[in-house]
Structure 1
Amino acid sequence: MENYLFTSERLGFRNWKTSDVDALFEINSDEEVMRFFPATQTKKQTEEFINRMQEQFSKNKFCYFAVETLSGNDFIGFIGLSEQTYEADFNPSVDIGWRLHPKSWGNGYATEGAKACLQYAFETLNLSEVVAVAPVINIPSITVIKKIRMTKTKEFTHPLLSQYPKLKNCVLYSISNK
Protein backbone atom coordinates (compact mmCIF):
# COMPACT_ATOMS: atom_id res chain seq x y z
CA MET A 1 0.00 0.00 0.00
CA GLU A 2 1.30 3.40 -1.01
CA ASN A 3 1.96 6.00 1.65
CA TYR A 4 -0.46 8.77 0.68
CA LEU A 5 -0.48 12.35 1.97
CA PHE A 6 -4.28 12.17 1.99
CA THR A 7 -7.03 10.22 0.28
CA SER A 8 -10.53 10.74 -1.00
CA GLU A 9 -13.11 7.97 -1.26
CA ARG A 10 -11.42 6.34 -4.27
CA LEU A 11 -8.12 8.21 -4.78
CA GLY A 12 -4.73 8.51 -3.12
CA PHE A 13 -2.60 11.66 -3.40
CA ARG A 14 1.20 11.58 -3.16
CA ASN A 15 4.40 13.36 -4.08
CA TRP A 16 6.05 12.41 -7.37
CA LYS A 17 8.59 9.65 -7.93
CA THR A 18 11.10 9.48 -10.77
CA SER A 19 9.40 6.25 -11.80
CA ASP A 20 6.24 8.27 -12.68
CA VAL A 21 7.84 9.80 -15.78
CA ASP A 22 6.70 7.17 -18.30
CA ALA A 23 3.12 7.06 -17.04
CA LEU A 24 2.80 10.86 -17.02
CA PHE A 25 4.50 11.11 -20.42
CA GLU A 26 1.82 8.79 -21.83
CA ILE A 27 -0.81 11.31 -20.64
CA ASN A 28 1.18 14.43 -21.66
CA SER A 29 1.80 13.11 -25.18
CA ASP A 30 -1.89 12.33 -25.82
CA GLU A 31 -3.35 14.92 -28.23
CA GLU A 32 -6.87 14.55 -26.86
CA VAL A 33 -5.70 15.14 -23.26
CA MET A 34 -3.66 18.17 -24.33
CA ARG A 35 -6.23 19.74 -26.67
CA PHE A 36 -6.63 22.78 -24.39
CA PHE A 37 -2.87 23.35 -24.19
CA PRO A 38 -0.47 24.79 -26.78
CA ALA A 39 1.12 21.39 -27.48
CA THR A 40 1.71 17.90 -26.21
CA GLN A 41 4.77 17.50 -23.99
CA THR A 42 8.02 15.69 -24.62
CA LYS A 43 9.52 13.21 -22.19
CA LYS A 44 12.09 15.86 -21.17
CA GLN A 45 9.29 18.40 -20.48
CA THR A 46 7.50 15.74 -18.44
CA GLU A 47 10.65 15.08 -16.39
CA GLU A 48 11.06 18.85 -15.83
CA PHE A 49 7.42 19.11 -14.72
CA ILE A 50 7.89 16.30 -12.16
CA ASN A 51 11.07 17.98 -10.88
CA ARG A 52 9.20 21.31 -10.49
CA MET A 53 6.38 19.55 -8.63
CA GLN A 54 8.85 17.81 -6.29
CA GLU A 55 10.50 21.18 -5.57
CA GLN A 56 7.15 22.85 -4.93
CA PHE A 57 6.15 20.03 -2.61
CA SER A 58 9.33 20.23 -0.55
CA LYS A 59 8.92 24.02 -0.29
CA ASN A 60 5.13 24.28 0.26
CA LYS A 61 3.81 20.80 1.13
CA PHE A 62 1.66 20.96 -2.01
CA CYS A 63 1.96 20.48 -5.75
CA TYR A 64 -0.08 18.99 -8.56
CA PHE A 65 -0.11 15.62 -6.74
CA ALA A 66 0.41 12.27 -8.41
CA VAL A 67 -2.92 10.45 -8.09
CA GLU A 68 -3.66 6.75 -7.94
CA THR A 69 -6.84 4.73 -7.54
CA LEU A 70 -7.05 3.19 -4.08
CA SER A 71 -8.61 0.01 -5.50
CA GLY A 72 -5.70 -0.91 -7.78
CA ASN A 73 -2.97 1.64 -7.07
CA ASP A 74 -3.25 2.61 -10.75
CA PHE A 75 -1.60 5.93 -11.63
CA ILE A 76 -4.26 8.05 -13.35
CA GLY A 77 -2.54 11.47 -13.60
CA PHE A 78 -2.44 14.51 -11.37
CA ILE A 79 -4.83 16.62 -9.32
CA GLY A 80 -3.57 19.26 -6.97
CA LEU A 81 -2.36 22.72 -6.15
CA SER A 82 0.40 24.81 -7.68
CA GLU A 83 1.96 28.21 -7.12
CA GLN A 84 1.31 30.62 -9.99
CA THR A 85 3.52 33.64 -10.49
CA TYR A 86 3.03 34.60 -14.15
CA GLU A 87 2.14 38.23 -14.81
CA ALA A 88 -1.50 38.70 -13.78
CA ASP A 89 -3.28 40.91 -11.28
CA PHE A 90 -4.35 37.87 -9.20
CA ASN A 91 -0.84 36.41 -8.83
CA PRO A 92 0.94 35.18 -6.85
CA SER A 93 -1.81 32.64 -6.25
CA VAL A 94 -2.37 28.96 -5.56
CA ASP A 95 -4.14 27.29 -8.45
CA ILE A 96 -6.02 23.99 -8.51
CA GLY A 97 -5.67 21.81 -11.57
CA TRP A 98 -5.81 18.29 -12.96
CA ARG A 99 -4.77 16.16 -15.90
CA LEU A 100 -6.02 12.59 -16.08
CA HIS A 101 -5.50 9.60 -18.34
CA PRO A 102 -8.40 9.20 -20.80
CA LYS A 103 -9.10 5.69 -19.44
CA SER A 104 -10.09 7.34 -16.15
CA TRP A 105 -12.35 10.03 -17.66
CA GLY A 106 -16.06 9.97 -16.89
CA ASN A 107 -15.69 8.48 -13.41
CA GLY A 108 -15.93 11.72 -11.44
CA TYR A 109 -12.27 11.47 -10.38
CA ALA A 110 -11.41 15.10 -11.24
CA THR A 111 -14.31 16.44 -9.16
CA GLU A 112 -13.71 14.03 -6.26
CA GLY A 113 -9.98 14.74 -6.30
CA ALA A 114 -10.38 18.50 -6.58
CA LYS A 115 -12.74 18.53 -3.58
CA ALA A 116 -10.16 16.55 -1.56
CA CYS A 117 -7.42 18.99 -2.62
CA LEU A 118 -9.51 21.98 -1.54
CA GLN A 119 -10.09 20.32 1.83
CA TYR A 120 -6.32 19.74 2.11
CA ALA A 121 -5.65 23.38 1.06
CA PHE A 122 -7.99 24.86 3.64
CA GLU A 123 -7.84 22.41 6.57
CA THR A 124 -4.21 21.23 6.45
CA LEU A 125 -2.38 24.11 4.75
CA ASN A 126 -4.73 26.83 6.02
CA LEU A 127 -4.62 28.68 2.69
CA SER A 128 -6.99 31.63 2.42
CA GLU A 129 -7.91 31.24 -1.26
CA VAL A 130 -7.49 28.87 -4.20
CA VAL A 131 -8.02 29.88 -7.83
CA ALA A 132 -8.65 27.96 -11.04
CA VAL A 133 -7.84 29.13 -14.56
CA ALA A 134 -9.02 27.56 -17.80
CA PRO A 135 -9.41 28.62 -21.42
CA VAL A 136 -13.07 29.53 -22.04
CA ILE A 137 -13.25 26.67 -24.56
CA ASN A 138 -12.23 24.09 -21.93
CA ILE A 139 -15.79 23.17 -20.98
CA PRO A 140 -14.83 19.86 -19.27
CA SER A 141 -12.56 21.65 -16.77
CA ILE A 142 -14.98 24.54 -16.27
CA THR A 143 -17.69 21.97 -15.48
CA VAL A 144 -15.48 20.47 -12.74
CA ILE A 145 -14.61 23.97 -11.46
CA LYS A 146 -18.33 24.73 -11.08
CA LYS A 147 -18.99 21.35 -9.40
CA ILE A 148 -16.44 22.16 -6.69
CA ARG A 149 -18.33 25.41 -6.04
CA MET A 150 -15.77 27.89 -7.22
CA THR A 151 -17.08 31.32 -8.22
CA LYS A 152 -16.28 32.99 -11.54
CA THR A 153 -14.21 36.10 -10.91
CA LYS A 154 -13.48 37.31 -14.43
CA GLU A 155 -12.38 36.59 -17.98
CA PHE A 156 -8.88 37.63 -19.04
CA THR A 157 -6.25 37.17 -21.71
CA HIS A 158 -3.71 34.71 -20.36
CA PRO A 159 -0.22 36.21 -20.84
CA LEU A 160 1.39 32.79 -21.39
CA LEU A 161 -1.19 31.88 -24.05
CA SER A 162 -1.34 35.17 -25.99
CA GLN A 163 0.18 33.51 -29.08
CA TYR A 164 -2.63 30.92 -29.17
CA PRO A 165 -5.90 32.51 -30.39
CA LYS A 166 -8.05 29.51 -29.34
CA LEU A 167 -6.58 29.35 -25.83
CA LYS A 168 -5.72 32.92 -24.79
CA ASN A 169 -9.22 33.87 -23.57
CA CYS A 170 -9.42 32.37 -20.09
CA VAL A 171 -11.67 32.40 -17.06
CA LEU A 172 -10.58 32.86 -13.47
CA TYR A 173 -12.55 31.18 -10.69
CA SER A 174 -11.84 31.35 -6.97
CA ILE A 175 -12.93 29.94 -3.64
CA SER A 176 -12.12 31.26 -0.19
CA ASN A 177 -11.45 29.44 3.06
CA LYS A 178 -14.56 30.20 5.09
Structure 2
Amino acid sequence: MTFNSYIINDEVIFNMDVNELQPVAGKDHEAITLNTPTARCLQLLLESNGNIISRDEFLSAVWKERGVVVSQNTFYQNISLLRKSLLRAGLTQDVVVTVRQRGFVIATGTVIRQVTLQNEFNSAQPLSTDASMRIINDKYIAKIDDAEVQNSVRKTFRINGLTSRQLSWWTLIIVAIMAIINIIFF
Protein backbone atom coordinates (compact mmCIF):
# COMPACT_ATOMS: atom_id res chain seq x y z
CA MET A 1 0.00 0.00 0.00
CA THR A 2 1.40 3.36 -1.00
CA PHE A 3 0.91 6.18 1.47
CA ASN A 4 0.71 9.75 0.27
CA SER A 5 -0.16 11.62 3.46
CA TYR A 6 0.90 11.66 7.08
CA ILE A 7 -1.04 12.99 10.05
CA ILE A 8 1.30 14.34 12.72
CA ASN A 9 0.09 14.46 16.35
CA ASP A 10 -3.51 14.61 15.10
CA GLU A 11 -2.83 18.30 14.38
CA VAL A 12 -1.26 18.59 10.93
CA ILE A 13 -1.62 16.63 7.69
CA PHE A 14 1.42 16.43 5.39
CA ASN A 15 0.20 15.76 1.84
CA MET A 16 3.24 14.50 -0.06
CA ASP A 17 1.52 14.78 -3.45
CA VAL A 18 1.40 18.58 -3.26
CA ASN A 19 4.10 19.20 -0.58
CA GLU A 20 1.52 20.82 1.68
CA LEU A 21 0.99 21.00 5.42
CA GLN A 22 -2.68 21.35 6.32
CA PRO A 23 -4.25 21.79 9.75
CA VAL A 24 -6.56 18.97 10.78
CA ALA A 25 -10.22 19.92 10.32
CA GLY A 26 -11.42 22.22 13.07
CA LYS A 27 -7.98 23.71 13.73
CA ASP A 28 -7.58 27.45 13.18
CA HIS A 29 -4.29 27.49 11.25
CA GLU A 30 -3.24 28.00 7.66
CA ALA A 31 -2.22 25.52 4.97
CA ILE A 32 1.49 25.85 4.17
CA THR A 33 3.06 24.81 0.87
CA LEU A 34 6.61 23.56 1.37
CA ASN A 35 9.35 23.94 -1.21
CA THR A 36 10.40 20.58 -2.63
CA PRO A 37 13.67 20.13 -0.65
CA THR A 38 11.94 21.01 2.64
CA ALA A 39 9.15 18.53 1.86
CA ARG A 40 11.75 15.84 1.09
CA CYS A 41 13.46 16.55 4.43
CA LEU A 42 10.15 16.06 6.24
CA GLN A 43 9.37 12.90 4.29
CA LEU A 44 12.81 11.47 5.10
CA LEU A 45 12.30 12.18 8.80
CA LEU A 46 8.80 10.67 8.84
CA GLU A 47 9.96 7.53 7.01
CA SER A 48 13.07 7.07 9.17
CA ASN A 49 11.24 4.84 11.68
CA GLY A 50 12.71 6.80 14.58
CA ASN A 51 16.30 6.58 13.36
CA ILE A 52 18.58 9.59 13.49
CA ILE A 53 19.24 11.03 10.02
CA SER A 54 22.68 12.61 9.66
CA ARG A 55 23.35 15.82 7.76
CA ASP A 56 25.20 13.82 5.08
CA GLU A 57 22.23 11.47 4.66
CA PHE A 58 19.94 14.48 4.20
CA LEU A 59 22.29 16.09 1.68
CA SER A 60 22.54 12.84 -0.27
CA ALA A 61 18.84 11.87 -0.26
CA VAL A 62 17.38 15.32 -0.77
CA TRP A 63 19.87 16.97 -3.13
CA LYS A 64 22.85 14.86 -4.29
CA GLU A 65 20.75 11.97 -5.67
CA ARG A 66 19.03 14.54 -7.87
CA GLY A 67 22.32 15.95 -9.15
CA VAL A 68 22.29 19.07 -6.98
CA VAL A 69 25.09 20.13 -4.66
CA VAL A 70 24.19 22.59 -1.91
CA SER A 71 25.98 24.14 1.03
CA GLN A 72 25.42 23.11 4.63
CA ASN A 73 23.84 26.52 5.14
CA THR A 74 21.12 25.67 2.60
CA PHE A 75 20.45 22.41 4.43
CA TYR A 76 20.10 24.14 7.81
CA GLN A 77 17.85 26.82 6.28
CA ASN A 78 15.54 24.05 5.04
CA ILE A 79 15.42 22.43 8.49
CA SER A 80 14.63 25.82 10.04
CA LEU A 81 11.93 26.46 7.44
CA LEU A 82 10.48 23.00 8.12
CA ARG A 83 10.25 23.67 11.87
CA LYS A 84 8.60 27.06 11.36
CA SER A 85 6.17 25.69 8.78
CA LEU A 86 5.08 22.82 11.04
CA LEU A 87 4.31 25.27 13.85
CA ARG A 88 2.48 27.68 11.51
CA ALA A 89 0.38 24.81 10.17
CA GLY A 90 -0.81 23.96 13.67
CA LEU A 91 1.62 21.75 15.59
CA THR A 92 1.73 22.78 19.24
CA GLN A 93 5.32 21.63 19.70
CA ASP A 94 8.46 21.27 17.62
CA VAL A 95 8.74 17.62 16.57
CA VAL A 96 12.08 17.90 14.74
CA VAL A 97 14.78 17.20 17.30
CA THR A 98 18.47 17.99 16.83
CA VAL A 99 20.71 15.24 18.18
CA ARG A 100 24.05 16.87 18.83
CA GLN A 101 26.89 15.73 16.59
CA ARG A 102 24.62 13.09 14.99
CA GLY A 103 21.73 14.62 13.06
CA PHE A 104 17.97 14.99 13.34
CA VAL A 105 15.06 12.77 14.34
CA ILE A 106 11.33 13.02 14.92
CA ALA A 107 10.70 13.55 18.65
CA THR A 108 9.90 10.52 20.76
CA GLY A 109 6.20 10.37 21.53
CA THR A 110 5.19 11.97 18.26
CA VAL A 111 2.09 10.29 16.83
CA ILE A 112 2.47 9.68 13.12
CA ARG A 113 -0.32 8.16 11.02
CA GLN A 114 -0.01 7.25 7.35
CA VAL A 115 -3.11 7.60 5.19
CA THR A 116 -4.06 7.40 1.54
CA LEU A 117 -6.36 9.85 -0.16
CA GLN A 118 -9.11 7.23 -0.07
CA ASN A 119 -8.86 6.88 3.72
CA GLU A 120 -10.70 9.16 6.09
CA PHE A 121 -8.93 10.73 9.07
CA ASN A 122 -10.65 8.30 11.45
CA SER A 123 -9.46 5.26 9.49
CA ALA A 124 -5.82 6.33 9.52
CA GLN A 125 -3.35 3.68 10.54
CA PRO A 126 -1.48 4.61 13.72
CA LEU A 127 2.25 4.11 13.51
CA SER A 128 3.48 5.50 16.80
CA THR A 129 1.52 6.24 19.91
CA ASP A 130 3.59 5.58 23.01
CA ALA A 131 5.44 8.45 24.71
CA SER A 132 8.42 6.34 25.79
CA MET A 133 8.68 3.97 22.80
CA ARG A 134 7.79 4.46 19.17
CA ILE A 135 5.84 1.69 17.49
CA ILE A 136 6.33 1.63 13.75
CA ASN A 137 5.32 -1.35 11.61
CA ASP A 138 5.15 -3.54 14.75
CA LYS A 139 8.78 -2.75 15.63
CA TYR A 140 9.77 -1.07 18.86
CA ILE A 141 12.33 1.66 18.57
CA ALA A 142 14.11 2.59 21.78
CA LYS A 143 13.76 6.10 23.12
CA ILE A 144 16.75 8.33 22.42
CA ASP A 145 18.65 9.15 25.58
CA ASP A 146 17.68 12.67 26.70
CA ALA A 147 21.34 13.46 27.37
CA GLU A 148 22.09 13.32 23.63
CA VAL A 149 19.20 15.48 22.58
CA GLN A 150 19.92 19.14 21.85
CA ASN A 151 16.98 21.44 21.22
CA SER A 152 14.57 18.74 22.30
CA VAL A 153 10.87 19.25 21.89
CA ARG A 154 10.15 22.88 22.65
CA LYS A 155 6.64 23.74 23.63
CA THR A 156 5.35 27.00 22.29
CA PHE A 157 2.64 29.23 23.61
CA ARG A 158 0.53 31.76 21.78
CA ILE A 159 -0.42 35.28 22.80
CA ASN A 160 -2.67 37.17 20.37
CA GLY A 161 -1.65 34.78 17.59
CA LEU A 162 2.11 35.17 18.16
CA THR A 163 4.24 32.20 19.20
CA SER A 164 6.83 32.41 21.95
CA ARG A 165 9.60 32.58 19.32
CA GLN A 166 7.95 35.52 17.55
CA LEU A 167 7.48 37.28 20.88
CA SER A 168 11.19 36.81 21.64
CA TRP A 169 12.14 38.54 18.38
CA TRP A 170 9.72 41.40 18.99
CA THR A 171 11.13 41.84 22.50
CA LEU A 172 14.67 41.99 21.10
CA ILE A 173 13.64 44.54 18.47
CA ILE A 174 11.90 46.76 21.04
CA VAL A 175 14.91 46.66 23.38
CA ALA A 176 17.23 47.60 20.48
CA ILE A 177 14.99 50.53 19.50
CA MET A 178 14.87 51.73 23.10
CA ALA A 179 18.67 51.56 23.34
CA ILE A 180 19.08 53.58 20.14
CA ILE A 181 16.60 56.22 21.35
CA ASN A 182 18.40 56.36 24.69
CA ILE A 183 21.76 56.94 22.95
CA ILE A 184 20.39 59.61 20.62
CA PHE A 185 18.42 61.67 23.15
CA PHE A 186 20.36 61.21 26.37
Bigger radius of gyration, 1 or 2? 2
**TM value normalised by structure 2:** 0.32
